[in-house]
Amino acid sequence: TDHSDTERLRERIARVLIRARERTAGLTDCLDEGELVAQHSRLMSPLVWDLAHIGNQEELWLVRDVGGREPVRADIDQLYDAFRHPRADRPALPLLDPAEAREYTGTVRAKALDVLADSDLRSDRLISGGFAFGMIAQHEQQHDETMLATHQLRTGAPALAASPAPTAAVPVSGEIVIPAGEFTMGTATDPWALDNERPAHPVRLPGFAIDAAPVTNAQYLEFIADGGYRRRELWSERGWAHRVEVDLNAPQFWENDGGNNWWRRVFGAMTPLRPRQPVVHVCWFEAEAYANWAGKRLPTEAEWEKAARFDPATGRSRRFPWGDADPDESTANLGQRHLEPAEVGAYPAGASPAGVHQLIGDVWEWTSSGFERYPEFEWFPYPEYSEVFFGGDYRVLRGGSFGTDEVACRSTFRNWDHPIRRQIFSGFRLARDLRSDER
Ligand code: AVJ
Ligand code: FE
């Protein structure tokens, strides 16, 4: 019945909000006050800024907009407005201290749950299907992933722990051919999809080949050994200028002991490089140079989505490569269950019908595409989420990483960043056009 559907949705929203808050607490309660207010990298906010910003967005959207309630702290809105203060400037702001930030987010959350209890979850577009609540849960989880990246950047004793990611269960290598034809890109039906994933629209692609798995550390090492970082011809003009300027020689957090032994600093612990894991912490320009070295290219965003969704048996676009069911431990490495990508071949149950593996989870995958609006895009509920970024110096990343929660991950989900960024959990896979004898 209608009534019990609404109650089930209400319970699901509460669960998803609580899960996000448990993660936020786990990322902040493990550090002392000094570490929470410190800036661990100029690319990142102090963790205490993320914490209060999560609460402030929840206050703006759930407490004031959806609930129509009185402000909790209207005086601090401007401190936590991401457009007003660049990340590098945030430590100097008169921010709430960690205890105040925790109290503030807790007060806002209690009011938000009260609004949820009062809401019919149908009345208008902002709350129909629980959209505003889902948007806020995704927002908190996105900041949790950003805070996880801050943890990776900080120095000092490890503060986080998790079990190792799974090893290969099946061998996976080579390429998969996706035949020419139309598919549906974007979504009209996913109630919590964000504005930039809409509307659903037909896209016709020529046939292409896409790698069955992301590029691994072992493969990336071959590129390094073959002079990949020294050979100017492999790099674009901008890529080479950036390589020289910041002296790129290997993925971020890799260390070499002088011989051929590579190590990776993973959340404060030095670990031997695991050859079969996807490479992580590379920027778009490194991915581009690797693709040139391999004689291939990055997939376009549309190619990636077709590989991740198109079901050749029905012609329909699925929510995930394996079908419409939510991710679980057998299909994808998501949700900070592990603090590293899983080996290629670790998730046979998560493969697409065509046999493409690990599109969801492990590492965000750079595509060749800039961040652009879909045809007939309409911003919702505010232009600052996506619209203001269209046409900027960004590349789209797809698929989510080991640090992405499932509420903020689906085959239509679009992430974007500057092509020089690599503190995010970014890797890539390759694609190519079909030769005439393959078409
Ligand atoms: C979509 C991940 C690029 O972190 O800047 C968070 C998400 N938007 N708060 C970001 C977001 C507003 C956004 N990304
Ligand atoms: Fe934000």
pLDDT tens for residues 15-57? 999 999 999 999 999 999 999 999 999 999 999 999 999 999 9
**Smallest Cα–Cα separation from 119: which of 104, 142, 141, 136?**
136
Which helix (H) or strand (E) element contains residue 311? Answer: strand 310-311
The span from the CA of 360 to the CA of 322, in Å, is: 10
Q: Which pLDDT score, from 0 to 100, does residue 123 have?
A: 83
**How many A from CA of 35 to the centre of ligand 1?**
23
Mean pLDDT of 370-390: 97
What is the distance of C-alpha 412 from the center of its chain? 12
pLDDT higher than 90, residue 1: no
Q: Which pLDDT score, from 0 to 100, does residue 386 have?
A: 97
Q: How confident is the model at residue 136 (pLDDT cuts 50, 70, 90)?
A: very high
Work out which ligand 1 atom sits closest to the CA atom of 415: 1
pLDDT tens for residues 396-419? 999 999 999 999 999 999 999 999
Q: Is the dihedral of CA 362, 403, 225, 419 positive or negative?
A: positive
**How many A from CA of 305 to the centre of ligand 1?**
20
- Among 58, 142, 386, 418, residue to substitute to test ligand 1 (most atoms within 8 Å of Cβ): 142
**How many A from CA of 173 to the centre of ligand 1?**
33
Tally the residues of the chain.
Answer: 439
The span from the CA of 57 to the CA of 142, in Å, is: 12
Tokens representing residue 230 in the block: 């020294």
Q: How confident is the model at residue 126 (pLDDT cuts 50, 70, 90)?
A: very high
Q: Is 415 touching ligand 1 by the criterion CB < 6 Å?
A: yes
Nearest CA to ligand 1 atom 8: 385
Q: How many CA atoms lie within 13 A of 134 on its CB side?
A: 22
Mean pLDDT of 149-153: 98
What percent of the chain is modeled with pLDDT above 70? 100
**How many A from CA of 131 to the centre of ligand 1?**
17
CB atoms within 10 A of CB 33: 11
pLDDT tens for residues 240-290? 999 999 999 999 999 998 878 999 999 999 999 999 999 999 999 999 999
Q: Which pLDDT score, from 0 to 100, does residue 259 have?
A: 79
pLDDT tens for residues 74-86? 999 999 999 999 9
The span from the CA of 434 to the CA of 421, in Å, is: 30
Residue of higher predicted confidence among 147 and 257: 147
Which ligand has the minimum distance to the alpha carbon of residue 145? 1
Cis (ω within 30 of 0) for the bond into 199?
yes
Nearest CA to ligand 1 atom 10: 142
pLDDT higher than 90, residue 311: yes
Q: Which pLDDT score, from 0 to 100, does residue 257 have?
A: 84
Q: Which pLDDT score, from 0 to 100, does residue 232 have?
A: 98
**How many A from CA of 387 to the centre of ligand 2?**
15
Q: Which pLDDT score, from 0 to 100, does residue 260 have?
A: 80
**How many A from CA of 130 to the centre of ligand 2?**
19
The span from the CA of 193 to the CA of 412, in Å, is: 8
Q: Is 395 touching ligand 1 by the criterion CB < 6 Å?
A: no
What percent of the chain is modeled with pLDDT above 90? 97
What distances in angstroms separate CA 29 from CA 117, 325, 334, one per listed residue?
Answer: 28, 33, 22
ipTM (interface pTM): 0.99
pLDDT tens for residues 184-241? 999 999 999 999 999 999 999 999 999 999 999 999 999 999 999 999 999 999 999 9
Work out which ligand 1 atom sits closest to the CA atom of 385: 8
The span from the CA of 130 to the CA of 178, in Å, is: 36
Q: Which pLDDT score, from 0 to 100, does residue 75 have?
A: 96
Q: Which pLDDT score, from 0 to 100, does residue 50 have?
A: 98
Return the DSSP state at 190.
-
Work out which ligand 1 atom sits closest to the CA atom of 146: 4
User: pLDDT averaged over the chain?
Assistant: 97
3-state secondary structure of 437: helix
Tokens representing residue 364 in the block: 């965000």
Nearest CA to ligand 1 atom 2: 415
Contact 349, 361 (CB under 8 A): no
The span from the CA of 406 to the CA of 27, in Å, is: 17
Tokens representing residue 235 in the block: 């790099």
Which ligand has the minimum distance to the alpha carbon of residue 147? 1
What distances in angstroms separate CA 167 from CA 31, 108, 327, 333, one per listed residue?
Answer: 30, 41, 18, 11
Q: Is 142 touching ligand 1 by the criterion CB < 6 Å?
A: yes
Place of tokens 């050979």: 231
Q: Which pLDDT score, from 0 to 100, does residue 3 have?
A: 84
**How many A from CA of 60 to the centre of ligand 2?**
12
**How many A from CA of 142 to the centre of ligand 1?**
6
Q: Is 394 touching ligand 1 by the criterion CB < 6 Å?
A: no
Q: Is 146 touching ligand 1 by the criterion CB < 6 Å?
A: yes
CB atoms within 10 A of CB 166: 16
Tokens representing residue 258 in the block: 């002088």
The overall longest dimension of the chain from CA atoms, in Å, is: 67
For the chain, the helix, strand and coil percentages under 3-state DSSP, each to the nearest 5: 40, 15, 50
Mean pLDDT of 391-396: 98
pLDDT tens for residues 183-193? 999 999 999 99
What distances in angstroms separate CA 169 from CA 11, 183, 274, 278, 345, one per listed residue?
Answer: 36, 31, 15, 15, 6
Work out which ligand 1 atom sits closest to the CA atom of 416: 3
